[in-house]
Structure 1
Amino acid sequence: MSFRTDNDDYETWLGTQCDVVKADIDYKHQRMKKSAFIFLRATYFRWAKKIGDWCPQLMDAPPVLSVGDLHLENFGAWRDADGRLVWGVNDFDEAAIMPYVLDLVRLAASIRLAPDLAVGNRAATGALLKGYRDGLDDPQPALLYEGETWLRPFAERADLKPEKFWKEVSGYPKASPPAKIAEAMIASLPKDVEKVRMCSRRKGGGGLGRPRYVAVAYWRGGRVLREAKALVPSAWDWANDKKSQASNFLELANGRYRAPDPFLHVRNKFILRRIAADSHKIELGDDAGAMLRLDLLRAMAFDLASIHAAAGSATTRAIRRDLGKRPRGWLNAAAKAAAAAVERDYEEWRN
Structure 2
Amino acid sequence: MSFLSDNEAYEAWLRTQCAVDEAGLVRKHEKMDSHPFPFLRATFFRWARRIETVCPDLKDAPRVLSVGDTHLENFGTWRDAEGRWVWGFNDFDEAAVIPWPYDLVRLAASARLMPGRTLGGKEAASVIIDGYRRGLTDPRPTLLDEQETWMRRFVACSDTDRRKFWDEIAALPDASPPPLALAGLRRSVPAGAVIERFARRTKGAGGLGRPRYVAVALWRGGHVVREAKTIVPSSWEWLHGATPENHFLDAATGRFRSPDPFLTVQDGYIFRRIAADSRKVELSNLTSPVLTADLLRAMAFDLGSIHAATDGAAAAILPGLTARAPDWLQTASRAAARAVEFDYVRWRAR
TM-score by length of 2: 0.97
Q: Which residue does 2:41 correspond to in 1?
A: 41
- Give unmatched runs, 5+ long, in structure 2: none
Superposed counterparts of 1:244-323, under 5 Å? 245-287=244-286, 290-312=289-311, 314-323=312-321
User: Identity of paired residues, percent?
Assistant: 54
* Aligned-partner SS, 1:218: strand
CA contact under 8 A between 2:195 and 2:215: conserved in structure 1? no
* Aligned-partner SS, 2:147: coil
CA contact under 8 A between 2:157 and 2:277: conserved in structure 1? no
Residues 240 and 130 of structure 1: is their aligned pair in 2 closer, same or farther, counting only changes over 3 Å? same
- Give unmatched runs, 5+ long, in structure 1: none
Task: Name the aligned partner's letter for residue 281 of structure 1.
Answer: K
CA positional deviation for 1:330: 0.3
Report runs of 4+ in structure 1 exceeding 6 Å deviation. none
Q: Which residue does 2:3 correspond to in 1?
A: 3
1:55-90 deviation line (CA, Å, top 9, x unaligned): 101101110010000100000000100111100000
Alpha-carbon distance in structure 1 between the residues aligned to 2:153 and 2:161: 12
Alpha-carbon distance in structure 2 between the residues aligned to 1:250 and 1:144: 22
Superposed counterparts of 1:47-126, under 5 Å? 47-126=47-126
Q: Which residue does 1:339 correspond to in 2?
A: 337
Task: Name the aligned partner's letter for residue 230 of structure 1.
Answer: T
Alpha-carbon distance in structure 2 between the residues aligned to 1:280 and 1:315: 30
CA positional deviation for 1:242: 2.6
Identify the range of structure 1 (114-123 vs 35-44) with the bigger mean alpha-carbon deviation: 114-123
Residues 120 and 319 of structure 1: is their aligned pair in 2 closer, same or farther, counting only changes over 3 Å? same
CA positional deviation for 1:219: 1.2
Alpha-carbon distance in structure 2 between the residues aligned to 1:348 and 1:186: 44
1:3-54 deviation line (CA, Å, top 9, x unaligned): 0000000000000000001111111111101000000000000000000111
CA positional deviation for 1:160: 5.9
CA contact under 8 A between 1:141 and 1:306: conserved in structure 2? yes
Q: How many residues were matched structurally?
A: 349
CA contact under 8 A between 2:114 and 2:284: conserved in structure 1? no
CA contact under 8 A between 1:111 and 1:289: conserved in structure 2? no
Residues 104 and 159 of structure 1: is their aligned pair in 2 closer, same or farther, counting only changes over 3 Å? farther
* Aligned-partner SS, 2:216: strand
CA contact under 8 A between 2:55 and 2:336: conserved in structure 1? yes
CA positional deviation for 1:157: 5.4
CA contact under 8 A between 2:157 and 2:276: conserved in structure 1? no
1:221 is the counterpart of 2:221: yes
* Aligned-partner SS, 2:276: coil
CA positional deviation for 1:180: 2.1
Alpha-carbon distance in structure 2 between the residues aligned to 1:85 and 1:249: 21
CA positional deviation for 1:287: 4.2
Task: Name the aligned partner's letter for residue 340 of structure 1.
Answer: R
Task: Name the aligned partner's letter for residue 260 of structure 1.
Answer: P
Task: Name the aligned partner's letter for residue 338 of structure 2.
Answer: A
